[in-house]
Amino acid sequence: AVALAESGGGSVQGGGSLKLSCRVRGFPWSNFDCVAWFRQIPGKEREGVAFSYSGDSSQYYTDSARGRFTISVDNREDTVVLQMSNLKPEDTGKYFCAVTRTSAQSVCYDYFHKGDFDYWGQGTQVTVSS
C-alpha cells in the first residue's frame, strides 16, 4: 500500500522558517507525476498550497504561498519538500502532502484546485506565533 509520511512541522515565531518533508513509500515514485502540499487552517476548508508536476518540471503556488514557499522533489529519496520562509501567524494549520497520477500539467492543476488526489499523508502541524 502507498504510504505518505510528513515531517518537519513545529512551532516558530513570525518571520521564521520551516522545512516540511514528505516521504512516499509502497509504490514506485515515478508513477506519481503530480505532488502537492495542502493545509487545513482552523475554521477554514482545506486549501492547496503548491504543487509540482514532473512532466515539465513546473511548480505552481497559490497566492498565499508564492514568494515565500518553495516546493521541490528529491527523486533519490522519493520525497517532496516544502520550504517555508517568512512565516506568518495565518500560516498556522495542519499541512498535508498528496500525490497522484495525471496526464498533463493542466490536469494536475485541475486536481490541485479540486483537492482530488489519490494518496494523502496524515499531516504535520505548523504553528506560527506573532
Q: How far is CA 83 from CA 26, 54, 78, 114, in A?
A: 24, 18, 16, 23
Confidence of residue 119 (pLDDT cuts 50, 70, 90): very high
Query: pLDDT per residue over 40-95, tens digit each?
Result: 998 999 999 999 999 999 999 999 999 999 999 998 899 999 999 999 999 999 99
pLDDT of 37: 98
Residue 29 has pLDDT above 90, yes or no: no
**β partners of residue 129:** 13
Q: How confident is the model at residue 26 (pLDDT cuts 50, 70, 90)?
A: confident
With cut-offs at 50, 70 and 90, classify the pLDDT of residue 1: confident
The answer to whether residues 81 and 36 touch, using CB atoms and an 8 Å cutoff, is no
Q: How is residue 68 written as a grid cell?
A: 515565500
Q: Looking at residues 122-130, what average pLDDT do you find?
A: 97
Q: Cα angle vertex 110, ends 21, 7, to 5°?
A: 10
